[in-house]
Structure 1
Amino acid sequence: MKYNLLTEPLITADMAKSGRTVLSLPAIFAALIRDEIADFPALRPHQAQAWHCFLAQLGALALHRAEQNIPPHTMQEWETLLRGLTSDFPNDAPWHLVGADADKPAFLQPPEPVGIVYTGRAETPDTIDMLIGQKNHDVKEKLYQESRPEDWIFALISKQTGDGFNGAGNYGIARMNGGSSSRFSMGLCPLADKTSAPTPGARLTHDITLLLSTRASQLSDMAALDFPERGGKTLLWLTPWPLEERQGLCLNTLDIWFIEICRRIRLHGEGDRLIAKTGTSKAPRVDAKTQKGVVGDPWAPVNVKDRKSLTLGPSKLDYHHICDWLFGGNWQAPAMIRKADMSDTNQNWALIIQALGRGNCKTYGYHERTLVLPRQSAARLITDAQALHTLSQDLIKDIGELKKILGHAIAIAAIDGRSTSPDKDKYAAAKPWQDGLDLMADRHFFPALWDMLPAYLHKDYAAQDEAKHRFFRRLIKEAQTLLNTAIETVSAAQFHLRARSRAERVFRARIGKHFDWYFSNDNKEANDAAA
């Protein structure tokens, strides 16, 4: 019971044309580069980010070691490349899920140090994963009573490359800002056309190729950390981890794309199943605390002022935050965006954002969002960031005003229309409908932004206004619908008529004042609705 990832088919894949199959790790790489894989059905949603980054780093490391720049298309070539990273272990020990020899590494598992006492035991792979449930109310623990090797593979990758601090002796990864932070991922994927979805193969091929073609500039960006051009440690589970070691590995001994491990874990066979034993450490595996996560992670935005990597926390991937991260001026875009070649103006792109929200001994859920970037829009994320910032702030300001108008009207309804100046505490009744309006704005925000940008750049202000008005016509109409629903809910039945009359009157008056174009003669739809 070794489960060699290089030679055994262990990972289930849904092929785009031929259905479900099980593949070895080299076969996975080859099929992805050929863009033949549609999905990995055993991969849990929160593991997707770690899986992609792991494959991209591993593929880039293997190709760099072999002095190659083009990802191959065959399983045999990938098997040779991956073995090249572990040439000191001719029996493939670092690729065995279960290590036969305690003094040898196993997959994402360092050699067992002499005298280690394992303090933890996990009988299911989700028990070692990085999710932290609140009294088992979130994602349930111990669901995988009849787990397969691939479940352990995905859990190990998620844990070892993405976990934070979880109590004494349980340190987190170097690629996050502090133990209660999270690893944030933001990158691009080329699309076949504007309506197609990003595929895991297209994304992996793009990221591996980009990593290799921009390695020199990545090293230059992180020159202060003195990453070596060649010879740095790549797979950190290959290196012994002494039991009493109180100083982690120095960054200047590692390759810039190093694949880390953060915990002592060792898988064993018990009968016909696998179990994991876990131990603690005296220090983090990598000595990088002072770097605040800024260690050359190519998918991580970096705070310009504080020099720290982005942490999601309880925040959402909404238009407010995305605009700040991309072109607010507070964050440096990750290398996978800054260094991407977006010169082909006929290419559509997808911006993919992934992160597990984390806090102090808790997780806030996994978040993923894909934004389609029409032709030329991707390059403009960098070249026209200031213009996008100006336009986005204008939209955000007016969305905020519309939410206030809706809130005022609903607060009037909540007091049955007795006054048009309700007390502040009555505005709380409007929040669910304001949140609904914000969700609608979020859904259409970025398409409106892309529509406005060319006109803004060409100083065609009439076209810019028309693009903006299209967005707000839809949003104001939605606000009217929400107001109608809210009136029926928050006002007493016997006062519906008065509540509706006064709430709608104030709503229309404030809309006409702030959005003075909305009730103009050429806006027939709005005038018909008002009538």
Structure 2
Amino acid sequence: MADFKHGSDAAQDIDVLVTARHHDEKAGKLPLRADELDTLIYALITLQGWTPFLGAGNYNSMRMNGGFSSRPQFRLAIERGSGAEFRRDVEVLTAGLGRIADEFRLRHDGADKPEHRLLWLPLWDDAPLPLSCVHPLALEVSRRVRLIERDGTLQLLRAGSKSMRVDASIWNGDVLDPWTPILVIDGRKALSAQPDTLGYRELPGLLFSRNKCELPLLALPAEHERSRSAKLIVQALAGGKGKTNGLLQREISMPASVTRRLGHEVVDLARRSQLFVDRASEMSGKVFRSALIQFVDGSDDVDWKNKDFDRATRSAVDDYERDVDEAFFPELFRSIDAGHDDQLAQVHWVQWLYTLAQRRLPVATEALPTRSPSRPFALARAERVLHGGARKHFGTWLAQARAEAQNEDTTESTR
């Protein structure tokens, strides 16, 4: 015990985000008391399985792609509630043990029955444990800590280590973790979440493009779940060198028609989702943003490359993008569930995007400056740019959407 020091007597000292020194989350919160051990357990789980590298002697989890990465969690929930979700995960893991064992033997030259499952039990000396001796579902420890009772209170002692607990750095986090997606472009590596990872531009590629990413076991439907609707739960603590970029969380409701495809038949989802991303990017950048810049400039000869105009309109564009992000997956899955082909799906999506832009423009301009002496005149010019840009980039789709709407009105009037 001689090398254990740096005691902590509060959970906030154990489980703390890497932030600036003046951040309001200060050490010393949540004192460790014998009647509140659940708080300590949660803090230890975070410390041992989710914290990044934090200086010499403080190493990260083997399930991360490098010391300054993160450990994402992607999983399906068929029924909600902690008990139902836990039971589902255990059942899927149990059913998948054979597949995990086969892959483990393939990776480690026939190694069978790895002996280490609780990584705090083997002797922790200077040398790391070989990955071939560690079960893929092992409960991990990354830091050397000891809990003692001193003067009637609990205290956590720490000691540094000379290496990672498990010798897995060459695997870049690809160690068969059942929650972690694996990127397969330019070698295999665990996903490292960034602030935009769960947004509509990045997430569809992770979920549906098997040339880009392999989903983990718990994010895939079991055979008996393929005919049921599900909730895909994705979360990660985005990090970096000496910083934390936020806890990212998203829940995506999937109809049975999408759940069924998620395991194997995702080519149409990958293609459709990319088309939706492309149309949204064009409407946001080429149509809505251009209309906003026209409003700010206020003249006939618009300075489209003016960086001040770009900065002024960025917040309004971000608001538009947030609305798109919220609707992206529901609209995408609605088109799949309705059996629409790519053309018809894009017609409905483009009409939705255009309607949003029309609704957002007058709201956005209320908070924007303009160089025009007349704000109503500047708004009229912005609306003209919006409509003209929509016709230029989306004329065919919008014309088809109008024709469909007219047909529906005619049908309705004849009833």
Shared fold, TM over 0.5: yes
**Counterpart for residue 155 of structure 2:** 275
Aligned to 1:158: 46
Aligned-partner Cα distance in 2 for 1:446–1:233: 41
Residues 59, 163 of structure 2: 8 Å contact kept: yes
Equivalent residue, structure 1, for 2:358: 480
Which residue of structure 2 aligns with residue 294 of structure 1?
Answer: 174
Distance 1:347 1:480 in 2: 37
Aligned residue identity for 1:128: I
Match of 1:336 among 218, 223, 227: 218
C-alpha deviation, 1:300, in angstroms: 1.0
3-state SS of 1:173 partner: coil
Between Structure 1 and Structure 2, how many residues are aligned? 395
Per-residue deviation at 1:427?
Answer: 2.7
Counterpart check, 1:175 vs 2:74: no
Assess, with a 3 A threshold, how the Cα gap between structure 1 residues 345 and 128 changes in structure 2: closer, same or farther.
closer
Matched residue of 1:313: which SS? coil
Instruction: Confirm whether residue 398 of structure 1 aligns to residue 279 of structure 2.
Output: yes
Q: 1:371 aligns with which of 246, 252, 256?
A: 252
Cα RMSD, aligned residues only: 2.3
Q: Which ranges of structure 2 fall in alignment gaps of 5 or more residues?
A: 407-415
Which one-letter code corresponds to 1:233 in the other structure?
Answer: H
2:30 partner SS = coil
C-alpha displacement of 1:142:
2.6
In the other structure, the counterpart of 2:376 is: 497
Q: 1:201 & 1:342 partners in 2: Cα distance?
A: 21
User: Contact conserved, 1:387 with 1:453, CA < 8 A, in 2?
Assistant: no
| CA-CA distance at 1:158 after TM superposition | 0.7
* SS at 2:374 equivalent: helix
Corresponding residue of 2:391: 512
Compute the displacement of 1:293 (Å).
0.8
Letter in 2 for 1:155: A
Shift of residue 384 of structure 1? 2.4
The equivalent of 1:121 in structure 2 is 7
Three-state SS of the structure 1 residue aligned to 2:367 is helix
In 2, Cα distance between equivalents of 1:358 and 1:321:
17
The 8 Å contact of residues 127 and 141 in structure 1, kept in 2 or not, is answered as yes
Say whether 1:207 aligns with 2:85: no
Task: Encode CA deviations 1:360-402: one digit per residue, 9 max, x unaligned.
Answer: 1222121121111111311212322211111111111110111
Of 499-508 and 465-474, the range deviating more from structure 2: 465-474
The superposition leaves residues 282-308 of structure 1 with CA deviations (integer Å, 9 ceiling, x where unpaired) of 111111111111111111111213111
Deviation at 1:352, TM superposition (A): 1.0
- The question of whether the paired residues in 2 share the 8 Å contact of 1:228 and 1:252 is answered with yes
Residue 418 of structure 1: CA displacement?
A: 4.4
8 Å Cα contact 1:219/1:227 also seen in 2: no
Structure 1 consecutive aligned stretches of length 4 or more whose deviation exceeds 6 Å: none
Partners of 1:353 and 1:368 within 8 A in 2: yes
CA distance, structure 1, for counterparts of residue 118 and residue 299 of structure 2: 67
Secondary structure in 1 aligned to 2:123?
coil
Query: Residue in 1 aligned with 2:315?
Result: 432
Give 1:130 shift: 4.9
| Residues 213 and 229 (structure 1), Cα distance of their counterparts in 2 relative to 1, 3 Å cut | farther
SS in structure 1 of the partner of residue 173 of structure 2: coil
Return the match for 1:446 from 329, 350, 367.
329
Q: What per-residue deviation string (whole Å, max 9, x for no partner) do you get for residues 129-179 of structure 1?
A: 152122142644332147522111110111011122110111111111111
After superposition, residues 231-270 of structure 1 pair within 5 angstroms as 232-242=115-125, 245=126, 247-270=127-150
Residue 476 of structure 1, CA deviation: 2.2
More divergent stretch after superposition (372-381 vs 170-179):
372-381
Q: Give the Å deviation of 1:200.
A: 1.5
By how many angstroms is 1:420 displaced? 4.3
Residues 10-35 of structure 1: per-residue CA shift (max 9 Å, x gap): xxxxxxxxxxxxxxxxxxxxxxxxxx
Any idea what SS the aligned residue of 2:94 has? helix
1:353 aligns with 2:230: no
Letter matched to residue 150 of structure 1: D
Cα distance between partner residues in 2 of 1:201 and 1:227: 36
* Normalised TM-score (structure 1): 0.70
**SS of the counterpart of 1:489?**
coil
Which runs of no fewer than 5 residues in structure 1 stay unpaired? 1-111, 192-197, 525-531
The answer to whether the aligner puts 1:414 opposite 2:274 as a matched pair is no
* Paired AA for residue 360 in structure 2: L
Tell me, yes or no, if the aligned pair for 1:414 and 1:490 is still in contact at 8 Å.
Answer: yes
Q: Is the 8 A contact 2:297 2:303 kept in 1?
A: no
2:389 alignment partner, SS class: helix
In the alignment, does 2:37 pair up with 1:149?
yes
Does the C-alpha gap of structure 1 residues 139 and 445 become closer, same or farther in structure 2, counting only changes over 3 Å?
A: farther
Contact 1:234-1:254 at 8 Å conserved across structures: yes
In 2, Cα distance between equivalents of 1:231 and 1:274: 34
Shift of 1:473: 3.3
Q: Which amino acid aligns with 2:383?
A: E
Hey, what's the Cα distance between the residues in 2 that align with 1:238 and 1:188? 32
Cα distance change on mapping 1:227 and 1:453 into 2, 3 Å? farther
- Cα distance in structure 2, aligned partners of 1:155 and 1:488: 46
Q: Secondary structure at the match of 2:166?
A: coil
Residue equivalent to 2:410: none
Q: Go from structure 1 to structure 2 and tell me whether the alpha carbon gap of 1:188 and 1:146 turns closer, same or farther (over 3 Å shift).
A: same
Q: d(CA) in 1 for partners of 2:354 and 2:229?
A: 30
Indicate the residue corresponding to 1:309 in structure 2. 190
AA partner of residue 134 (structure 2)? L
Output the amino acid matched with 2:173. G
Please identify, of 132-141 and 116-125, the stretch whose mean Cα deviation from structure 2 is larger: 132-141
What SS does the corresponding residue of 1:515 show, helix, strand or coil? Answer: helix
